[in-house]
Every structure is written in structure tokens, then in C-alpha cells.
Amino acid sequence: MEIVHYRKGQVGKVKIGIGNDHAAVEMKNDVAAYLKEKGYEVVNYGTDSHDSCSYPEYGEKVGRAVAGGEVDLGVLICGTGVGISLAANKVKGVRAVVCSEPYSAKLSRQHNDTNVLAFGARVIGIEMAKMIIDEWLNAEFMGGRHQTRVDMIMAIEEKQEQ
């Protein structure tokens, strides 16, 4: 299935980077399979081990892949989604959102042009994760007054570099 690239505006498979820690191995595998079934290309940046590991490493990996254009979008999963999203948000150009229900996921894309979605394997089940993913991927950034606000958010990063 051909899908329009999120950033590039060209026809081809959208690449989604997926990252997780030890708390989310099974959910990561289920989400990756679901995305592949829907026609997305999935790049695994997460762990496949249940041994304790540090979620910031995987949040940063996916964040850098998104910001650098290696993938179009990112999906992150840890116990709650919070810690891994905080790590991703430290990468310039990333707008990661934690969602436990579909409505916020949809609006995060429409209003904030989020490029990384996070959720918790200990918070939601796989069926809710699929609903959240679908709403997030099917939503389009609305631009207009929302672009002004996204620009303001991105300007905060520029101030940090000074």
C-alpha cells in the first residue's frame, strides 16, 4: 500500500520509528505488527529484552531519528509513556505527546503537529493503543493559528541554544 509521506509529500511508505523499554516489549511487537499490516514501514529502535534498561536511551534514539529525517514519525512505549516522551522531547525538533485515549492523540496532530506519540504499556491495552495510533496517524495538522503556536513552541528551543 502506498501512503503519502508525512514530511516529504511524496508517495511511498511512511517510516515509523518505534522505541520501548523492558516494560513494553510485547506491546511494541504488537504495535509494530499492526503498523506493518496497515502498510507502514517500521524501524525498531527499542529493546527486545525484558532485562531492566533505561527508557531515556530509547526516547532519544527515536527522537533523533525523527528530527534527523531517518523516519517520518515515532511511537514510544514504556510503562506509562511519560518518561520516554520526556527524553524524546529533549531532542530539538521533536514534539512528543503522551496519550491514553484517542481524542488527545487526534488533537495533538491537528493543533500541535506532534511527530512522536507515546503511551504506557502498564496504562492501556493493545486495542486502545491501536485506536490511539489510528486517530493520531489519520489526523492532519490544521495550520493557521495553530502554526503560530507551534512556531512559538519551537522558538523556545532556539532560546535554549543562546
Q: Which residues are catalytic?
A: 78, 111
76: three-class secondary structure by DSSP: strand
What distance in Å separates the CA atoms of residue 68 and residue 150, rounded to the nearest whole number?
Answer: 19
- Per DSSP bridges, beta strands 3-4 and 11-12 are antiparallel
Looking at 24-144, list the stretches that DSSP marks H as alpha helix, in order from N- to C-terminal side.
Answer: 25-37, 55-67, 82-89, 102-112, 126-138
Cα 129 to chain center, whole Å? 12
